[in-house]
Chains A and B, each alone.
Chain A
Amino acid sequence: MTTIYLKFPKSETSLAGFPYGDDVYQNQVKENISFEGDITIIFPDQIEKVASSFVQGFFANIVMAIGYKGIEKNVKIISKNDKLTASIRKNIY
Chain B
Amino acid sequence: MLIYTSNNTTLFLRINCFIIFIAGTILKNIELLFEKNPQCFSKIQSNKNSVIFQCGDKSFSGITISKIIKFINAVRKKYKNLKLSLVFSFGSIKLADKLSYIIFECICYFLMTNFHYKIHLFWQPERNILTDGIFCSPLLFLSKGDRNDFCRFLQKFQMDIYRRHFRRLINGSNKENTNYLGNLLQELDTFLKAFSIAEDYRDQISEVIIELVGNACEHGHTNCLLDIDITNDGEIAIDDIPQKGIFYGINIAIVNFSDILLGDGIKNKIEQNKLNENRYICLKQAYSYHKQFFSQDYSYADFCNISSLQDKISGRPYYNLSGGTGLTKLIHSLQEKSEVDSCYVISGQRCVRFVKNLLNYDDNKWLGFNEQKDFFKALPDKVTTVDCYIYFPGTAYNLNFVMKRED
The answer to whether A and B interact is: yes
Contacts of B210 in A (CB 8 A): 16-17, 51, 53
B56 in the interface (beta carbon within 8 A): no
Contact flags B121-150 to A (C-beta < 8 A → 1, else 0):
000000000000000000000000000000
- B176 pairs with A54, CB closer than 8 A: no
Contact flags B156-189 to A (C-beta < 8 A → 1, else 0):
0000000000000000000011111111111001
Q: How far is the CB of A63 from chain B (nearest CB, A)?
A: 5
Bound-state CA distance A91–B109 (Å) is: 38
* B187-241 interface (Cβ within 8 A of A): 189, 203, 206-207, 210-211, 214, 218
Give the most central of B176, B180, B181, B323: most A CB within 10 Å. B181
- A16 pairs with B182, CB closer than 8 A: yes
B79 in the interface (beta carbon within 8 A): no
- A14 pairs with B325, CB closer than 8 A: no
Q: How far is the CB of A67 from chain B (nearest CB, A)?
A: 9
Q: How far is the CB of A13 from chain B (nearest CB, A)?
A: 6
Q: B207's closest neighbor in chain A, by CB?
A: A51
- Interface residue tally of chain B, by bracket? 20 to 34
The secondary structure that dominates the A interface is helix
Spot the interface stretch: B13-21, B66-74, B314-322, B383-391.
B314-322
Bound-state CA distance A60–B314 (Å) is: 12
A8 in the interface (beta carbon within 8 A): yes
**A8-B179, A19-B177 given as contacts; is B186 within 8 A of A13 (CB)?**
yes
- A16 pairs with B177, CB closer than 8 A: no
Contacts of A14 in B (CB 8 A): 179, 182-183, 185-186, 189
Contact flags A16-32 to B (C-beta < 8 A → 1, else 0):
11111001000000000
Q: How far is the CB of A78 from chain B (nearest CB, A)?
A: 19
* A38-82 interface (Cβ within 8 A of B): 49, 51-54, 56-57, 59-60, 63-64
Q: A52's closest neighbor in chain B, by CB?
A: B325
Contacts of A59 in B (CB 8 A): 322
Bound-state CA distance A15–B189 (Å) is: 13
Which B residues contact A (CB, under 8 angstroms)? 176-186, 189, 203, 206-207, 210-211, 214, 218, 316, 319, 321-323, 325
8 A-B residue pairs with CB within 8 Å: A14-B185, A14-B189, A17-B182, A18-B214, A19-B176, A20-B181, A49-B203, A51-B210
Which A residues contact B (CB, under 8 angstroms)? 8-9, 12-20, 23, 49, 51-54, 56-57, 59-60, 63-64, 91
Apart from A17-B180, A20-B177, 19 more pairs, CB < 8 Å: A14-B189, A15-B179, A16-B185, A16-B210, A16-B214, A17-B176, A18-B323, A19-B177, A20-B178, A20-B182, A23-B176, A49-B189, A51-B181, A51-B210, A52-B211, A53-B325, A54-B182, A57-B322, A60-B319
